[in-house]
Structure 1
Amino acid sequence: MVALLRILSALPRFLGPDALEMASQSSASACDSRSSSAGSAAVGLALVRTVSRGNKRIPEMSSQMATFSLGDRSRGKRTFTAKVKSGCITCKRRHVKCDETRPFCLKCTKSPRGPGVCEGYPSEQKRANHCAPIVPKGTRRPLAALIEPGYETSLFTGPERGYFEFWLRLIGSIYLFPNDIMHRVVPQLARQEPAIKHAALAMAGMARALVPSLVYRSDKELHSNGPHYEFALQHYGRAMKLLRSSQPTSENMLWAIICCVLFITFECLHGDRTAALSHVNHAYKMMEAYFRRRSLVEEGPVTESIRAVCDDAAWVFQGLTMQAWSHNVLHPDNLLEISWCCRGSKRAFAVDEMPPIFTDIHTARRWWRVVQHHTCHRCPIYTEVYVDGFSEDMLAGAYERPALLPTHLETMAAVAPEFLNHLRKWSNAFQALYNDLQLQQHLSEAEYQLYVNACNLRLQYLLLWSHVSSLSFTDTRTVIILTPSFREIVQLSRIVLKAQANCRGCSDTFSMDNGPTWALLVTSCRCRDTKVRQEATGLLGKFNRRDGVWDSRMFHALAKRYEKIETENLLSEDEDEKESPLRRRELRFSRDGNMSGTHFEWDPLNSQWLRIREVF
């Protein structure tokens, strides 16, 4: 009782007079209870009301007091559930039950309460059977024993781990396919599928062999730049061997499609146009087979995961259409058939399902891929750029466009309004977004990146609009009218080039997106305004970069050569008469990266055009 009074005497400092009065009454009732209940060991204790904050319960000051009796109680058994050891890495870290969907669980990626990212599943290698060391009770364990080993240690050797970490940094800095497939999905799949792992390591090795610049190098020069090129070739071969020996299942088809994305990037870094476009062709065939059998595959969580990745891969390959089209390859010979890349879900063509307004840049970019692909895939516009070295097998299901036929212009003129209408609809849906970003005075870093992406979309639109409206630049009057569009392409390209100039330790910029490189080459060769052409040529020389198979160094040399040809051939008086032959140029890339071209030069002595072929 004395101890209780001491406690009560200290309470006023914390609870105030009202609480003390109630506690005193509680003490009195406790004394009465003691006299009437002999042998009882109960003691009245004050309860403090608590509030929840997270998972902890924190005391809260309250004027309400209560008492309860502490007697001898039997301690109940705590219920527990055995740990799930077969779940994904992310669910284990979050301490939640995994649904074990492969290749990545839906609880992490699809649930609104999930993190949106699944790190995949650990390897199923059995641990070595050894005894744990005996540590005396109370001994302080070293800190290293409390740290969980890195997941990559069980998947990669020492050198491989370094290349894989370099690859993870690389895909975050080269503007590679602006969607989740490279930043989220592929690293997960690389940790569990050997073919994808080796393809990723090959890509990293090739990138390191090229540091510090993307200047084209021969195999001998690449071998002399350290062990990286040899490492890249070894893992490239392993990935190819694993794919060829795998069984044709839905999951293996997914691995093959993802590997194709990495192989294309590898060859673009390598500078091999023929091999890169060959992989694009094979990828298109696999995607066609995938969509053909898609309805035959049973539904389920695994199927949903695979479909999500394949749908993202389809979007990636749609973006590569412009690269293939610019070299006059990989176009369908039969336009009566609607291939997977143009097919809509509700209507015959996906382009006809485009919404009237885009809510964000990501949506605008997605629909631009659809419109751009539909136009390049089905409109008879053409370029005069070709790639040598394609075999018949590589061209199976596609064709290299022939030289310009007499009826080709008539065909283009007949169908051009339809494709211009699709381009106009996209521009109208995009314009409000673009205007809002232009009018903002102070942009955060994230908002400025959106603005740069919007500028890139705008210049891609202007380029394709110019191609179609001028009938592949054969209509001279229209080309002259398009001078403001060419000028805007140069202005937008300057914004994009400056924003993407830093590539983390490399003096050049590399991307697998459709950047401004091709648009600047077209402007430097097709625009009729000399000043605009010179500005475009200057940007190609100032900002060294490679957008897929488009290399700014090659394009700059080509633009300078064409500038000289134009200067020499426009000295005579009759410019209109020479206009058509002067614009007829042909450029060819060999497999070893060399450029050769054919153009016309005016012979004033004989008053005729001479066809000239030269190696650049």
Structure 2
Amino acid sequence: MPVTPGEYWNLIERNRPPIKRRANHAKVRSGCVTCKTRRVKCDERKPLCLRCEKSGHLCAGYEDASAAKRGKETPPAAASAISKRNAIIRPKSLQPCRVIDVMQPSSLGVTLPASLTPSYLDSSDAPFFERFSSQIIKDIASWCTANIWKGILCQVMRDECIQHASLALAAMLLAVEKSSDSNCLSSVPLTQYAEGRAALRHYMKAISLCRQRLLDGITKDTIRSNLICTFLFAMIEVLQGNMSTVDRIMVNGSLLIRDAINAKAPTLVWDEELEDLKEGFDGMTIMWGLCPFFHGQKEIYTVVKSKGPYLEIPDKDAPLFDIRQCWSTFQNDLGLFVMSVRCGKVVSSQHMSSVISEKSMYMAQLRKWMPLIDTLLEREKAASAFYQLSMMKASALTHIIFLSCFLDRSDISYDSQLQSFIEVLRICQRFVPDKPPTHFQFSLDIDIFPIASFLVTKCRDQKTRQLALKVFSEITHRQVLWNNQGMLKSLQALVDLEHKGRDKSGFIPASSRYFFVGSQWDLEQRQMMAWFVSVGSVPTESGDLPTVRVPISF
């Protein structure tokens, strides 16, 4: 079995740094020019050697032995390879960057500026840096309001650990695209592609650097670097579908923040930059905790410190970025409340009064936010911020629906929210692309996934549900931050399961309503199984909830 990056995450928790040993190789006399330059043993396959092909290097061919003896010129291919190698080992230029691409159109229909690639990067890594700087940063910044992402490119330039993590993410994204375009089966390892091997190499280096910095002590630079890398590591694992590894990585990030806050080290200066980064990371922890894939976040969310009731409503003339930050802070606090009542599932009688009080406070705040969001939507119809504002409204509507109905254990009260469900669906329908994107993106899932899945699971109107499933499928096509196809099949299984319990009038009684708790591979049945729990179920004597398992196929 091929090695996968996720297996190496536990290296961070080792107590001693690994001992680096350099393998000894025999001197190469008759190998290809590339292997000679790299000083590795060549297998001398003609016309191009197998070693270069497997390692992702460009094989420059073989020198003419007779010409070499007579002192003749090096073949053009060999000269090209040597020139590239010499360019890499020259002293670094005082000019920090070089332009390697021209103005190019993006899939969003806008022209992107020429990208600048650091001159000290290996030429083989230039495409990875280009993809990260021209697309991935823009995708992340579209849904993450933390200021740190506005300057992430500077961090990539000066922080070696973040640099390797970003190159690994971009290389893995390119490998996944190649795998998808070639219609390869999911069992085929991504390391069969040069991009996949490069991703593995950069990933291992980034993990090693993160681990070494943690051993050197907790400082501001350590926290900043490790939190950014933790987030990038999580996205690398999501690309490969390693959800349990993603869960563990995010838990480690939350624990790192907790330890940093509790640490009284004089070298750690907790300033606005770290606070901003923490808020962005907390938001991801809360959002992923509300997703059935990440059970670890449901256990660790309590380490996220709430700022308390966020009562400030910004003015409509405030900068949109500031408004989005205010909304993000409020949504984080509201998300913590939602997790506290959802993870417990049943609100105990001793906590009922405080829960009702918090619910009323958040509901009042949402009703103040709605007019502001509507005003901004009307004003920004043709602006680039229209998508983010629309998602803010859809998110606010889903929060209002949840707060209105979550105390009803039968879920029947959700039936009275049909018009709100339809309004949320219409917002999502606006962003169904006219044609599928040409490349994978990280942009839409982060917003659409929780909204569309909530719509499908809680709206029992058959027509609206089917439309929501269709929108979920179309709008998340070639989106890579979630396991879209697996979740789509699980949601369809939930709809089919509840549909069997409809009575003659089309009503679904409480006894036939379920919620999705996750999916797991059944080794005995050799099939993926989706797990559902009845909304009115109570724990058994062992503490478990009785589940219904439904097979799903891809």
TM-score range, shorter chain: 0.5 to 0.7
Which residue of the partner structure matches residue 160 of structure 1? 125
Q: Provide the TM-score with structure 1 as the length reference.
A: 0.60
Query: In the alignment, which of 418, 422, 431 is matched to residue 357 of structure 2?
Result: 418
Pair 294,487 (structure 1): closer, same or farther in 2 beyond 3 Å? farther
Partner of 1:265 in structure 2? 235
C-alpha contact 1:371 1:423 (8 A) present in aligned 2: no
Mapped contact 1:517–1:546 kept (Cα < 8 A): no
State whether residues 274 and 591 of structure 1, in contact with CA within 8 Å, keep that contact through their aligned partners in structure 2: no
Decide which of 337, 343, 354 is 2:312's aligned counterpart: 354
Q: In structure 1, what residue type is equivalent to 2:409? A: T
Kept in 1: contact 2:97–2:119 (CA 8 A): no
CA distance 1:172–1:194, change in 2 (3 Å)? closer
Correspondences of 1:186-585 after superposition (within 5 Å): 186-211=152-177, 218=186, 220-224=188-192, 226-246=193-213, 247-248=216-217, 249-293=219-263, 307-320=271-284, 321-327=286-292, 328-331=295-298, 339=303, 341-342=305-306, 344=307, 349=308, 351-352=309-310, 354-355=312-313, 357=315, 359-379=318-338, 401=343, 404=345, 408=347, 410=349, 413-440=352-379, 443-444=381-382, 447=383, 449-471=384-406, 474-498=409-433, 503=437, 505-506=438-439, 508-511=440-443, 514-545=446-477, 550-571=482-503, 578-583=509-514, 585=516
The separation in 1 between residues aligned to 2:97 and 2:467, in whole angstroms, is 56
Which sits farther off after the overlay, 260-269 or 191-200?
260-269
Equivalent position of 1:41 in the other structure: none
Contact kept in structure 1, 2:394 and 2:424, CA below 8 Å: yes
CA distance 1:591–1:184, change in 2 (3 Å): farther
Measured in 2, the distance between the counterparts of 1:362 and 1:325 equals 25
* Secondary structure in 2 matching 1:191: helix
| Cα separation, 2, equivalents of 1:599 and 1:281 | 25
Matches within 5 A, 1:24-63: none
Contact kept, 8 Å, 2:453 with 2:491, in 1: the verdict is yes
* d(CA) in 2 for partners of 1:174, 1:379: 26
Q: Deviations over 1:232-260 (max 9, x none)?
A: 11111110011111212332222111111
Q: Deviations over 1:454-509 (max 9, x none)?
A: 1101111222232232127634342112212211111111124449x775x31x54
Is 1:596 aligned to residue 530 of structure 2? Answer: yes
Q: What is the Cα deviation at residue 424 of structure 1?
A: 3.0
Q: Is the 8 A contact 1:368 1:426 kept in 2?
A: no
CA distance in 1, matches of 2:517, 2:97: 60
For 1:428 and 1:216, how far apart are their aligned partners in 2?
49
Q: Is the 8 A contact 1:423 1:461 kept in 2?
A: no
In the TM superposition, what is the alpha-carbon distance from 1:453 to its structure 2 partner? 0.9
For the residues of structure 1 that align with 2:167 and 2:153, how far apart are their CA atoms? Answer: 11
Q: Deviations over 1:262-313 (max 9, x none)?
A: 1122222222222222222121122223334489558xxxx6xx83432332
Between the aligned residues of both structures, percent identity stands at 15
TM-score (norm 2): 0.66
SS in structure 1 opposite 2:158?
coil
Paired AA for residue 563 in structure 1: V
SS at match of 1:287: helix
Q: Is the 8 A contact 1:195 1:259 kept in 2?
A: yes
Native 8 Å contact 1:379 1:415 kept in 2: no
Q: Secondary structure at the match of 2:121?
A: coil
- SS of the equivalent of 2:231 reads helix
In 1, Cα distance between equivalents of 2:458 and 2:421: 9
Which is greater in Rg?
1
* Change in CA separation of 1:307 and 1:573 when aligned onto 2, cut-off 3 Å: same
Q: Structure 1 residues 542 and 513, CA, compared in 2 at 3 Å: closer, same or farther?
A: closer
The secondary structure found in structure 1 opposite 2:498 is helix
Counterparts of 1:611 and 1:147, CA distance in 2: 58
Provide, for residues 154-185 of structure 1, a one-character-per-residue CA deviation record: whole Å limited to 9, x for no partner. 42111112211121112244244444656542
Asked if 2 retains the 8 angstrom alpha-carbon contact of 1:291 and 1:340, the reply is no
Distance 1:216 1:536 in 2: 29
**Aligned equivalents of 1:308 and 1:469: distance in 2?**
36
1:10-44: CA deviation from partner (whole Å, max 9, x where unpaired): xxxxxxxxxxxxxxxxxxxxxxxxxxxxxxxxxxx
Kept in 2, the 8 Å contact 1:361–1:433? The answer is: no
1:520–1:536 CA contact under 8 A, matched in 2:
yes
CA separation of 1:430/1:547 partners in 2, compared to 1, >3 Å: closer, same or farther?
Answer: farther
Task: Give the total of aligned pairs.
Answer: 426
C-alpha displacement at 1:556, in angstroms?
2.4
- 5 Å-filtered alignment, 1:102-181, equals 152=117, 154-176=119-141, 177-179=143-145, 181=147
Contact residue 381 and residue 467 of structure 1 kept, 8 A: no
Give the conservation status (yes or no) of the 8 Å contact 2:514–2:532.
no
Equivalent residues of 1:599, 1:611 under 8 A apart = yes
